[in-house]
A and B are shown apart, each in its own frame.
Chain A
Amino acid sequence: MSTNDRLKNVFAYALDLDGDTDIESLRYREIDKWDSLGHMALVAAIEDEFDVQFDTDQVIDMNAYKVAYDMLRELGVGE
């Protein structure tokens, strides 16, 4: 599975999203489920799925799907 597909799966289950959600255009706090509580679950789920560790600044900066994707790529996760 591509990183994009895996990351979308993680977003979907960590944030408990409806099937028709446009994940790629999601932004932090624009939907109720991606609030500060959802964000903690999301960060932990991404770290588990890709076996990476984000630092504090990355957790704070991760405010959109695309940002999370780019961070994974920077951490050496392939496409």
Chain B
Amino acid sequence: MTIAADPGASAVRDFVFARTQDDRERHLLPELRRLTEHHRANCAPYDRVLRALGVPAGDPGARIADLPWLPVRLFKHHDLASVPADAVFKTLTSSGTTGAEVSRIHLDRQAAADQTRALSRTLQAVLGGRRLPMLMVDTPSVVKDRRSFSARGAGVLGMAGFGRDHTYVLDADGRPDPDAVARFLTAHGNAPFLVFGFTFMVWQYLYEVAARHRFDLSQGILVHSGGWKKLADRAVDNATFRARFAADTGLTRIHNYYGMVEQIGTVFVEGPDGDALYCPDFADVVVRDPVTWAEQPVGVPGVIEVVSALPRSYPGHVLLTEDLGVVHGVDDGHWPGKRFSVLGRLPRAEARGCSDTYAESQGDKPA
């Protein structure tokens, strides 16, 4: 295995929402071109795909949007790694509904360290470097059995390092525990604290419990992910979610984020104004026309392609997702670069998501 550069060091700087789109293109394109050649040289199936697409060796594209992408689904059907099998240190699997196929993502030691550091840099942009007291909108049971972490358990554990004095909002049986929340708020509620959970659980278990008990969450910083599909039935979209939290609990610092296991360590984070998701400096998105695959103009929805300089141990640096999205603007928001929203899943994509595993394993219990 040849390591030409350490993307964790070169790609991730201190504040990671700093690059304008031109600057991003200039810095990212050479790295992505190098990564494309690296994966061609080290992952034979990837090279075969690029050959079949007619991508010339050494010249994968003159713009980020020209680079060849892999459909994210490919990781479900093929073991794609750019490191030898004996260097694989950790294999991640995507969440999936029972019986559905899961992606398998192989990390070597360096890639595992790089993704942790990149995620940390990204979230520190909104959380700061200090570890805050942390409210987990989940049950401690999801991290109990280390041999069988669900995707949700892995998500909870992945976030735990950003906080301290972890308190779970649900008890071991998955029932809301308002007393635990009340004790947490008595101890920590007068200074900034961190709240983490999957979007629909945050709504169902934190919002509803906090509103009923009139809990004051005004010092909280909420980080949440997992999609809106389950909340669509309740007519809760992002704007409603933010407005109701603000009005009924005082919680206004809310950051949704978007990411996937197939590009582990890269997350797109909702800006402080709650207007859109932003790309960290080592990543980008391209929204494509689902028929012509050309890049859509600003404001026109299409299929989201996610781009990141992070994936080095598997060819996941340019991935076509199964999500619909829209770019709202470029260099015109709170942070520079593209700002975008995820509109939902492509109609024919199977249901998939971290929070989906909850209803299946625990049942949708009333709050």
Which A residues are closer than 8 A to B by beta carbons?
Answer: 29, 32, 35-40, 43-44, 47, 53-57, 59-60
Contact = CB atoms under 8 A, between A and B. Distances in A.
Interface string B140-162: 00010010000000000110111
Interface string B111-142: 01000110010001001011100000000000
Contacts of B117: 60
B214 interface: no
Given A44-B164, A55-B129, A56-B129, A36 B120 contact: no
Contact of A56 (B90, B112, B158, B161): B161
B129 A57 contact: yes
The 5 closest A-B pairs by CB, nearest first: A59-B161, A55-B129, A36-B157, A40-B160, A37-B146
Contact of B120 (A35, A43, A53, A60): A60
B15 interface: no
B231 to A, nearest CB: 29
B360 to A, nearest CB: 23
Given A57-B120, A59-B161, 6 more contacts: A35-B146, A36-B157, A40-B157, A54-B131, A56-B131, A60-B117
17 contacts: A29-B89, A36-B157, A37-B143, A37-B146, A37-B157, A38-B146, A40-B160, A40-B161, A44-B164, A53-B131, A55-B130, A55-B131, A56-B131, A56-B161, A59-B161, A60-B116, A60-B161
Nearest to B90: A29
Q: How large is the interface on B (under 10, 10 to 19, 20 to 34, 35 or more residues)?
A: 20 to 34
A1 B7 CA distance: 42
A56 B120 contact: yes
Nearest to B129: A55
B131 to A, nearest CB: 6
Interface string B160-204: 111010100000000000000000000000000000000000000
A39 B267 CA distance: 23
Contact of B124 (A29, A39, A56): A56
A52 B287 CA distance: 46
B129 A36 contact: no
Interface string B9-53: 000000000000000000000000000000000000000000000
A18 to B, nearest CB: 17
A32 to B, nearest CB: 8
Contacts of A40: 157, 160-161, 166
B313 to A, nearest CB: 15
Contacts of B158: 36
A76 B161 CA distance: 22
Contacts of A44: 164
Contacts of B160: 36, 40
Contacts of B162: 56
Interface in B242-271: none
Nearest to A33: B146
